[in-house]
Structure 1
């Protein structure tokens, strides 16, 4: 089997698996938005399967397609259109009929995190904090009373809070557009910092065409904006902008605490790559920015801040988090207190193993750092008792980004004076 045939076979298996996932969701998905996405996605993944099959048949006949139609990027393009852009547009319009805050998942045109983040922005403007005191509501506490994010996530809801009100304004200020714009901006800035490397199709499959990414893009979106900022912070660190990488990572942590372990990996990368001084600058910028982002909101209502940002996500709030995807940590914890203890013990062992990995083989490149962050977040998501399978979008996007960073790094080492000997010297040494 030639390299091209092997690549096309992998493409076909990937797209067929995605098609199966989308097809199942058309029938069994609990949420309205999921089913809308799935119906569009079936078309996108189906067309990708047809196109890849066509490429394989042409290659086996010895007449591979040339030009635009012969590109493996066609599959990525149709998925981007049918599984991301079109369902998002339809769901934004459908949301105008008013289905927020109803306890009817089969009618939601946007997932609750979208409404919650938009509400948090309104609360911030009115009260100086995006968090309400759930013990003073005068009624039973509901899951959607919580805003389980850091203060930075509120920024994505500000356009709706400031300019929403009519059908057109509400459609244009839907927080999902803000998440999408932030994610795209981070991608473009990262590629610019890396000097526009060649993007492998496999990277786009992992980071973009994967159903978790496409589904998140259409029905929610915050995780894509956050992982985009995370990748950008790594790009800043690896291209010498060490102090700036600290504040960007602080934005990430202030939006979602789940990515906080990335700060350790990035610190080790800077220590390995640029020395203690770079680590010091990064650390100071990270700590100061994090304090500036959190302290003002904390001081307005410390109790509410702790309840929303820490206690609820950890399963210690007034009510329990509904995050209960059947991943290993949750399944183990379902056996009761002993199971919960075992789950946390396994999580601790995974953390120790990753720390040993960092010490024994510290990351020296951006791709090294992204791999370690992906593995760390993957372990956290799989082993924590309360989690959602949708969070696996983090390691998948990070692994896709890793391939792009590796492409950039291999190009740099191929340049004379940047890791390899000049051609003349190579000839002399080889002779």
Structure 2
């Protein structure tokens, strides 16, 4: 039996998603859950556009030679799903990095194009052991808000500082104010020479210092291609969750012979920064659900307002009010069932709906509605005033 605060139990109660044996480690998103998924995706996409990223889409499967070139075949093969293509080995991608490098190769950038920022909602697959799977926290199929910055050496510090500053503001909008940072250095099994790692670690530490980050040191925990900064959130129960990351990579640009043309016309190797705000959209949703106990902020709730009618005479009025809210941008529906009002209040609360609007004969006659909040507080307001208040309450604060 799952604890009622477990994200898997919350997912069932709120009708968001389910998992089943026929697709181990993969999520069936219900309409309400997929709306939450899309809301999260929209927030990331808006921020990426503001920060100058170009969104791309890359293939799901690559042949063995590409993975050998990237180093994943040697260092990550046990975590990859392999496909036999008539004697040729293919692998379903566990990361989007090689695809982005291939795009940059075709783009053939000059120094004027740098920093070049690419992003992708990359659907990835990793062959996790069955016993390690854990709801949305540990999956075999998930989506990374993957991004890569290709820049000149002198641009590294500014890009890392910019990312770190943006991330704190982003997390705060979801209710996470406590953010810790860890610095993960070279692992025992890695690609690249020690002098390359010395340079990468030095540059990333210097950038972290410039950003004012107080880093917990994690020796040996870096990626096989470079050191990384990991951003750790603390939820309302004091638990820590590693979400965002930025990694400094001098290895893959060398392995792929990636170059840009500088001001003198010379071909120069760029620095590659791997970065993610959330890491995994699915995992972040699980963290969000447990952090808020299923009572998501109104701007994130898949359904923001339910308009419940009392008596047949108020049904059409309730439907018109819900339609007005939808026109104004709210996610609203009318509940005109014959169930008791108390039953419908319980249902709306159980579904995590922040606002319940009640309309009966008296409200119809007065051209008003009764607003009911999650905590049970109630107020009567005229139609137009109620619409304006609900629209404002359902909007993200930073969008107001």
TM-score range, shorter chain: under 0.3
Q: Which structure carries more strand by proportion?
A: 2
TM-score normalised by structure 2 residue count: 0.26
Which entry has the higher C-alpha Rg, 1 or 2? 2
